[in-house]
Chains A and B, each alone.
Chain A
């Protein structure tokens, strides 16, 4: 064992941590991502966890995974398959091996591959590696035992000691990738600031993992290094989509000079936005955890009337429950941002999985003519931009706005260059000008067709809004047919007037033979698919939409410019159908997948190539 290990330079690598939910795989994965991002690598992460808090221990349904893609340059997705798979028990190996490349290195805890573990994971022989036909490099370490030995003199009980197993795996992976452990140490000391003994135990175990790799050189021929090639200088942090969304709302409220109000109800995978905003009382953020989804949205409507930047956040069936109060904001013409972190449906569906299946609902799923702007964030860091822009549109156009993200971008994370708020566009809500006192009526509009905002507490502008149709001139309840027709048009016009940036065409924008079209959270995968096809010599472009309603002004021009178009989305064709409704004569190819999992780049390339060659 004396010879030096070879350190191999890599452009990118994918690591997947997996174990029993409760084994701390999300923490280990997150820590490894942070460590990698801190040294300047680009990262993209994908937590893939079961809906149950704690399924039976060791069972196939209880396996939790965390995948991270680390790159020297830009990475667009968490990766289809991994180069390193950590499987902390037999069930994890059984369910997660399909995510490993044939060349992947696999790390297992042999102490959790005992007879009962194998039975729970439905293995029929006592050699799971052979049974599954695994030919990969396997680092088989008695992790549980080493951890217990390592912590023997701490006086910790058995259960507490075993909770540190995830840190052993992390230490081993850090060794494999030549990672400095200082960042992990600092993180753990901060996380367990009130329990220093726990912090030190975890740190001890990380080192044990690292040293285990170092001392045994394990059974791999080389370790890896990923040098950063990022050239965009500045300060960076690692951020998840949900956190970026929360930050976007905070930034918008500060820019507009308004109080930020969130009315919400706990629901996976949107709850982290409620958690994040609830922390920041020192910024004056008010969060109300309501009795239900309906009250979440209704309280936000009330807060908006009172003059706040009002937000309600939800997912899945929550968006159904909010529809009624969203419509109230439509007819009262009040600003409101509705965040829908899309998950698998219908009904409770797949609470922890990702889809794009709420698009038509948020566009059209309300009674009456109910036009509403819709934006879809394209990546974890884009959640910040999208939340800021959604707030700006809501406040300046006095309308509810839907911000779509999805479980994939919400839980995924990426390195994020810290924004400078001063560089962001101003947000100017149309507060009622004081000189209109005496003549003003509630539905009086500015040049852009936007109703003025008269905030309670202002003398001279008392008025009553409501869910009943109002007379355009007086603001009184009206059932006049001509007036209703006019108000319907005015509400539509107001949304149509919103200026959004043109959709950008990437890739072979002049001579592509195939245009890939997508929206929202699939951007990374579609981009990676385009890159791969172009690398294979094909002429391909990508038009990825963030602004869904209204559509960018150049939409028709872009969609009709290319001979072949494929609309790829994680639903049964909702965006394609919407585009066909909006663009006369547009008949695209479609790629639709509703599995609750991110797209797989290889599968996209195969499908798009078939269309390309047709």
Chain B
């Protein structure tokens, strides 16, 4: 039973371009928050700078639309100072992985209880079309008229490299899939990264075309569910199997392969090797993995901070300023 509806989290009229993936995501976020049920005044939504970072202005919660790249650090301070708040941190691919890359990896390493949204359209939109750290090699943009000569980040790889414990992926146009991972991110204690694949209609139209429609996802994506065999295709006729150090796509019924041969997804597996392989899958040879790819329990930073305060407080004999003074060597002048 939820006390709140999506409307309770909604404010103002978004000013993104018509058709921008941010519109879809925002609606899913409102819906997910209503289903989670945390009161709007107990939520802080903290973003950096960029198109997607305008998002807090359309939330009827507490929040900040801060400075470029720093939102993970600002959210860290907010959460540690008041761990009772549900803190959602919102970044784009430039904001989160270029200028904010250091804060992104350290928020993951520290495992602070933040819900970290990465809206990935593989382009700088607000500055009108430069390649981003997730643009593919050779990408032609205003700042790379002859194509880039550098390789992109895969956000999952960065998250795993930083020893992240939660990574999920959804397509902005897929409301159900997005709401599912947002709720899972909230329920995961610790840093939870949600990569949202979204289109930029103006500067990078079609970047996620293969999975942007329902039909496309049926063909080119795989929805991962913990404990379920990894099947995909319009009629679930394909599956994933392990081969040597990698994965392979197989067709059920061919070469005597049955559902029993198909890998079963384990999001809770501490070893992230196979989860990483899933996250790195790309078309046309492999489906793009959607859903919760990794969700492993681990001690969180904010819990640790307060547990330590409690533990030390119990042991120490000073609990206010006057008592602190008396812990020093003092002398009396008469």
Contact = CB atoms under 8 A, between A and B. Distances in A.
Given A281-B312, A295-B102, A468-B65, A254 B80 contact: no
B318 A38 contact: no
Contacts of A421: 321-322
A282 B80 contact: no
Contact of B39 (A228, A233, A459): A459
A302 interface: yes
B240 interface: no
Interface stretch (B168-176, B274-282, B324-332): B324-332
Q: Can you list the 8 inter-chain pairs with the closest CB atoms, starting with the nearest?
A: A302-B77, A299-B77, A466-B65, A303-B81, A282-B316, A302-B78, A295-B73, A298-B73
Most A CB atoms within 10 A — which of B57, B61, B64, B328?
B64
Interface in B44-90: 44-46, 49, 56-57, 59-67, 70, 73-82, 84-85
B333 A300 contact: no
Contacts of A76: none
B233 interface: no
B329 A303 contact: no
A40 B74 CA distance: 47
A54 to B, nearest CB: 29
A307 B322 CA distance: 24
B320 A254 contact: yes
A251 B328 contact: no
B84 A464 contact: no
B331 A298 contact: no
A461 B41 contact: yes
Interface string B303-329: 001001100110110111110110011
Contacts of A280: 324
A232 B333 contact: yes
B81 A464 contact: no
A305 B78 contact: yes
B41 A283 contact: no
A378 to B, nearest CB: 21
Interface string A406-433: 0000000000001111000000000000
A259 B306 CA distance: 12
B73 A40 contact: no
Contacts of A310: 77, 81
B85 A457 contact: yes
Contact of A291 (B82, B106, B328, B332): B106
B12 to A, nearest CB: 8
29 contacts: A228-B333, A233-B332, A235-B330, A236-B330, A251-B321, A261-B77, A281-B316, A286-B305, A291-B73, A291-B105, A292-B102, A299-B73, A301-B66, A301-B74, A302-B64, A302-B73, A302-B75, A302-B79, A306-B82, A308-B82, A310-B81, A325-B70, A327-B67, A332-B64, A456-B42, A456-B78, A462-B62, A465-B64, A476-B12
Given A298-B70, A457-B62, 18 more contacts: A39-B331, A40-B333, A186-B329, A187-B329, A234-B333, A284-B309, A286-B305, A298-B66, A305-B78, A332-B64, A456-B42, A456-B82, A457-B82, A459-B39, A465-B64, A466-B66, A476-B12, A477-B57
A91 interface: no
A466 B321 contact: no
A56 interface: no
Contacts of B61: 462
Contacts of B56: 464, 466
Nearest to A299: B77
Contacts of B85: 306, 456-457
Interface string A179-204: 00001001100000000000000000
Interface string B193-207: 000000000000000
A282 B40 CA distance: 32
Contacts of A300: 77
B183 interface: no
Interface in B285-314: 305, 308-309, 312-313
B103 A282 contact: no
Nearest to B332: A235
B326 to A, nearest CB: 8
A421 B323 CA distance: 11
A561 interface: no
A263 to B, nearest CB: 6
Given A456-B62, A467-B67, A283 B321 contact: yes
Contact of B77 (A39, A187, A298): A298
Contact of A462 (B60, B77, B309, B332): B60
Interface residues of A, number: 74
A300 B279 CA distance: 34
User: Chain B: interface residue count, which band?
Assistant: 35 or more
Given A281-B312, A466-B64, A306 B318 contact: no
A588 to B, nearest CB: 39
Nearest to A250: B321
Interface string A34-60: 100111100000000000000000000
A327 B66 CA distance: 11
Most A CB atoms within 10 A — which of B62, B102, B315?
B62
Nearest to A190: B329
A300 B85 CA distance: 16
Contacts of B39: 459
A254 B324 CA distance: 12
A303 B80 contact: yes
A40 B318 CA distance: 26
Interface in A247-269: 247, 250-251, 254, 259, 261, 263
A503 interface: no
Nearest to A186: B329
B260 interface: no
B324 A247 contact: yes
Contacts of A263: 77
Contacts of B49: 467
Contacts of A304: 77, 81
A294 interface: yes
A354 B320 CA distance: 33
Contacts of B74: 298-299, 301-302, 305, 325
A307 to B, nearest CB: 6
B329 A237 contact: yes
Contacts of A324: 67, 70
Contacts of A305: 44, 62, 64, 74, 77-78
Interface in A268-293: 280-284, 286, 288, 290-292
A450 B61 CA distance: 23
Contact of A282 (B65, B312, B322, B328): B312
Contacts of A459: 39, 41
Nearest to B71: A298
Contact of A230 (B41, B82, B333): B333
A179 to B, nearest CB: 14
B81 A308 contact: yes
Given A40-B333, A291-B106, A302 B76 contact: yes
Contacts of B305: 286, 288
B252 to A, nearest CB: 47
Contact of B65 (A228, A230, A464): A464
A298 B325 CA distance: 31
A238 B66 contact: no
B325 to A, nearest CB: 5
A328 interface: yes
Contacts of B322: 420-421
Given A288-B76, A456-B82, A294 B329 contact: no
A458 interface: yes
Contacts of A102: none
B310 to A, nearest CB: 9
A237 B318 contact: no
A580 interface: no
A463 interface: yes
B70 A294 contact: yes
Contacts of A292: 102
Contacts of B80: 261, 286, 288, 299, 303
Contacts of B315: 282
